[in-house]
């Protein structure tokens, strides 16, 4: 193999690796939970509208939690709420989700109380409880479609 061929092949492999990393970053899915529950001494908001990117807004009442499914790491978050004086406020922030984190949760009362604070204050890395992920029952592995037919014949 001459030097030119080696360079072309090496370049092609490198380009594929770069494309793979790009696809990984662009296609990685995350769930953004938006949570309107009281946190310590901060009460839940009576009515709040939340939108992530341009995925459509969700209205949350106290104790509500909802979810946005997004891909990529950077997202815009828009929170619209009305205070006790019936004045409407809009908070616009950009969130950055850690690459391998599947779920994050936005604590809305904390964000509204500290609209300029660092995202680490109101964006929680969320791990779903194990019972929600794994089923307890055993699962029989079927590696051969014909196995069932043979059993049927035996009966």
Partner 1 sequence: MIKMTNSQKVIRFLANNTVPILFLVISAIGIPLSGYSANYLVSEVIVRLVRNSFLIVSLLIPILAGMGLNFGMTLGAMAGQIALIFITDWGIVGIPGMFLAMIISTPISILLGWWCGKILNMAKGREMVTSYIIGFFMNGIYQLVVLYGMGPVIPIRNKALVLPRGYGIRNTVNLAGIRKTLDNLVVIRIARVPIPVATFALILLLCLFVLWFKKTKLGQDMRAVGQDMEVARAAGIRVEHTRVISIIISTVFAGYGMILYLQNIGTLNTYNSHMQIGMFSVAALLVGGATVAKANIRNVFLGVTLFHLMFIVSPMAGKNLIGQAQLGEYFRVFVSYGVITISLVLYEIRKKRELALAGQSLAQAQEAQP
Separation between Cα atoms, residue 53 and residue 23, nearest integer Å: 20
Options 42-50, 88-96, 115-123, 134-142: segment touching partner 1 (CB under 8 A):
134-142
Maximum CA pair distance of the chain?
77
Q: Which of 135, 150, 153, 155 binds partner 1 (CB under 8 A)?
A: 135
Separation between Cα atoms, residue 89 and residue 83, nearest integer Å: 8
- Which 62-121 positions form the footprint of partner 1 (CB under 8 A)? 71, 100, 102
Give yes or no for residue 19 binding partner 1 (CB under 8 A).
yes
Q: Which of 35, 84, 82 lies closest to 60 in space, CA to CA? A: 35
In angstroms, give the least distance from the CB of 134 to partner 1. Answer: 5
Separation between Cα atoms, residue 55 and residue 68, nearest integer Å: 8
Q: Which of 26, 47, 90, 117 binds partner 1 (CB under 8 A)?
A: 26
Q: Which of 1, 133, 150, 153 binds partner 1 (CB under 8 A)?
A: 133
C-beta of residue 63 within 8 angstroms of C-beta of residue 43: no
User: Which chain residues interact with partner 1 by CB under 8 A?
Assistant: 16, 19-20, 23-24, 26-30, 71, 100, 102, 130, 133-145
């Amino acid at each position: 193999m001459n030097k030119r061929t080696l360079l072309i092949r090496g370049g092609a492999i490198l380009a594929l690796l770069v494309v793979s990393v790009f696809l990984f970053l662009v296609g990685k899915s995350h769930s953004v939970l938006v949570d309107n529950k009281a946190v310590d001494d901060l009460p839940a908001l009576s009515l709040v509208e939340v939108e992530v990117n341009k995925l459509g807004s969700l209205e949350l009442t106290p104790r509500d939690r909802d979810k946005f499914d997004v891909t990529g790491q950077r997202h815009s978050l828009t929170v619209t709420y009305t205070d006790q004086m019936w004045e409407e406020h809009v908070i616009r922030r950009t969130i950055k989700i850690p690459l391998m984190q599947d779920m994050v949760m936005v604590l809305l009362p904390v964000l509204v109380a500290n609209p300029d604070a660092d995202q680490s204050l109101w964006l929680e890395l969320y791990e779903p409880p194990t019972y929600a992920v794994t089923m307890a029952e055993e699962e029989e592995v079927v590696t051969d479609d014909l196995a069932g037919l043979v059993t049927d014949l035996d009966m």
